[in-house]
Amino acid sequence: MATQVHPPRGMRDFLPVDKRRRERVLRVIREAYEHHGFEEIETPVVEDAARLHAGLGGDNEKLAFAIMRRGLTGDDLQAARSPLELADLGLRFDLTVPLARFLSTHRSSLPPVFRAIQIAPVWRAERPQRGRFRQFVQCDIDIAGEPGIAAELELLAATGDALERLGLTGTHIRINDRRVLLAALEHAGVPDAQREGALITVDKLDKVGREGVVAELAERGVDGAALLATLDAIGAGEAPEGFDAATLEPLRELMAAHVGVPLVLDPTLVRGMGYYTGAIFEVAHPDLPFSIGGGGRYDGMVGRFLGQEVPAVGISLGFERLVDLVELPEEDGREVVALLVDKQVPPVEALAIKRALIAQGRTVRMQRRPKNPQGLLDQLVAAGATHVAFVRPGDSAEDLEPKPIS
């Protein structure tokens, strides 16, 4: 009995019909981004291990797949204090760190304000579960070189356009600002040493509720009720007494814009990446308990590589989470011929007929004709075949007129 062989846990194979569907969805996203003036780039799937573990990727750095150095000896293995000492490369865990490296590498060849598309797989050593895989596709757009709110507005408009073209109704984008969060922590009297931990706790609000957040903050010595009261007031569009109202202006300006998708102010939105310096976003859909995208401004990251500050902001759509929500109409006018060839037909003659049909603009999938072709035809139809033609000995391309499959 044959043993079943599966891909590695958290990674998947895609049958042709699934691959075509995924590519159609990706094509819609690409076209939306390109119409907004973004240009696609490509970066290697591996980066230097030191760059991937430079403190830019937050908790995702812990999930990076490391690639061991070549030529390691037994002494090297015994002397290593951690596995990372044995690695010089690693698989990328997101597309933002590679983009920051790309911008620093090619800055002189790029326009002052560069709008980038990256659509590619990334890898994380996740515990596989619904919506989480170890290999998955991200769809990123980023703007580098624009320090003002115009960049955020362009990103949100392009994202809204992509979601609309995909027919994803009911989506909205939650918005906050890291500067507002830090000002709220200061207003609530949270000590500097507790601020990062306090944000991690606030980020659990949807999981543990207000009481749980207040209790956990109390364990950190933080007045959780005061902090949540400050955030509540900001969510209502008010500046609490003693709070610098000017800090809220970028958020108010964003919320006043029309970007093609509803924007929802959420002062409790944190996002885990420590590199965010300004506005942060999350794309939500009512049918899913988790976000289908997110991003924000990360002005300090490119400067870590380049040696000079370059303002940057980006947003990513989590392709694996949104693709199952999308129901695109079937493409019209694509004629796919199932060419079923009798066994007596010489391969050279069958190929000549296939090439002639392709020259007419058709897509041809050639198979040997079985005694009962219905099962094979059903498979071919499921794979997208629209027409069928049977090839018998002596037939030529001129003799065949593929018929629609009813």
Over residues 15-41, mean pLDDT: 94
Displacement of CA 346 from its chain's centroid (Å): 48
Q: Looking at per-residue confidence, does 54 or 250 come out higher?
A: 250
Q: What is the pLDDT of residues 331-352, one digit of tens each?
A: 666 788 888 889 999 999 999 9
d(CA 251, CA 263): 11
For 399, the token pair is 């003799």
Q: How far is CA 359 from CA 112, 332, 335, 352, 355, in A?
A: 45, 20, 13, 11, 6
- The arithmetic mean of pLDDT across residues 358-367, rounded, is 89
* pLDDT, average across residues 363-376: 87
**Annotated domain spans of the chain:** 1-168, 336-404
83-97, 105-119, 224-238, 326-340: which is most confident: 105-119
Q: How far apart are CA 297 and CA 276, in angstroms?
A: 5
Of 399 and 248, the one with more pLDDT: 248
Closest CA to 180 of 264, 247, 249, 255: 247
Lowest mean pLDDT, pick from 118-122, 240-244, 368-372: 240-244
3-class DSSP assignment, residue 69: coil
Query: What confidence score (pLDDT) does residue 78 get?
Result: 65
> Taking a C-beta distance cutoff of 8 angstroms, is the pair 80, 88 a contact?
no
Which pLDDT does position 309 carry in this prediction? 85
Q: What percent of the chain has pLDDT over 90?
A: 36
**What is the tens place of the pLDDT at every residue in 302-312?**
877 777 788 99
Per-residue confidence (pLDDT) for residue 176, from 0 to 100 = 92
**Separation between Cα atoms, residue 224 and residue 244, nearest integer Å:** 20
- 53-102 per-position pLDDT tens digit: 877 666 778 888 888 878 767 766 666 677 777 778 989 999 998 999 99
- What is the overall mean pLDDT for the chain? 87
| Six-digit token string for 85 | 């000492």
Q: Are 311 and 150 in contact (CB under 8 A)?
A: no
Match 């018998």 to its residue by tokens: 392
pLDDT for res 284: 93
Mean pLDDT of 27-46: 96
Average pLDDT over residues 34-57: 89
User: Residue 317 pLDDT more than 60?
Assistant: yes
pLDDT at residue number 49: 87
Q: Does residue 293 carry a pLDDT above 60?
A: yes
Q: Which fold has domain 1-168?
A: BirA Bifunctional Protein; domain 2 (3.30.930)
| Amino acid 332: pLDDT | 64
- Residue 267 scores a pLDDT above 70: yes
Residues 163-188 pLDDT 10s = 999 999 899 999 999 998 888 888 88
